[in-house]
Amino acid sequence: MINLIFDIDDTAYDQLKPFEEAFKTVFGTANQLKIESLYIKSRFYSDEVYHRVVRGEMPKAEMHVYRITQALADFDYQITKKEAENFQIAYEQNQRKIELSPGIKEILTWAKKNHITMGIITNGPKEHQQHKINDLQINDWIPVANTFISGKVGIEKPDKQIFELVAKQIGIDVAKTYYIGDSFENDVIGSKNAGWHSIWLNRRGHLEPEDAAYLPDHCVENEQELFALLQEIF
């Protein structure tokens, strides 16, 4: 029997949707920016400084301003600090309206019906990520005891220790465990380094890093491909 452990952001739900709604609220739709490209840039700058936030070297609010300001600057679009702060407020408000994507809900229902052990590993502050888990109602399928937030356990992906902690706590065989996530560095490299199988849910069409220490066992572009793959593995 296989085990399935999921990431949350941009895996269990489409993170582009609350980002796009926040952008429309604060900046309107008059400009010609491609929102998905802007979102990808924003995630790049967020990942760039996230470790500084975790170490207490940068306030979280400063990181929020930095990532959207830098992302927009790459498209020659300048904003004020106040506009960046307003965007973050709107973004957080829209994140409280998130829902499981229909495809992921179908996968969770199938997995539960087939008695597949499931869990969650997500990076982020304890309360912020817990709000997302609650809003997604994902514990209707995955037990609370199998939910691990980096801000709560004190270890963050891609550190293999968080994967080892989860395997020990849940009591799963890593040789039969598949981690499903959208981030190559955090999810693919992290899980592979811990000896797990990795499924890269590559919604945004990212390229594999040329010098990657590990490669995913499988790469899918959407939930339909993911479901077909999981059924085949099962």
CA–CA gap between residue 62 and residue 110 (Å, rounded): 41
Cα pseudo-dihedral 66, 188, 3, 153, rounded to 10: -40
Nearest to 185 by CA among 197, 196, 200: 200
CA–CA gap between residue 9 and residue 166 (Å, rounded): 18
pTM score over 0.85: yes
Cα pseudo-dihedral 194, 140, 20, 191, rounded to 10: 0
Cα pseudo-dihedral 129, 133, 139, 140, rounded to 10: 180
pLDDT at 213: 86
Q: State the burial class of residue 122 (Cβ atoms within 10 Å of its Cβ: 0-12, 13-18, 19+).
A: buried
166: tokens are: 């989860």
User: Which ranges of the chain would DSSP assign to H, the alpha helix?
Assistant: 16-27, 35-54, 60-73, 81-95, 102-113, 126-136, 150-153, 160-170, 190-193, 223-233
Q: Is 24 helix (H, G, I), strand (E, B) or coil?
A: helix
- Using 70 as the pLDDT threshold, list the residues of the chain that sit under it: 29-32
pLDDT at 50: 85
CA–CA gap between residue 79 and residue 56 (Å, rounded): 26
29: tokens are: 């739709």
Distance of CA 89 to the CA centre of its chain: 20
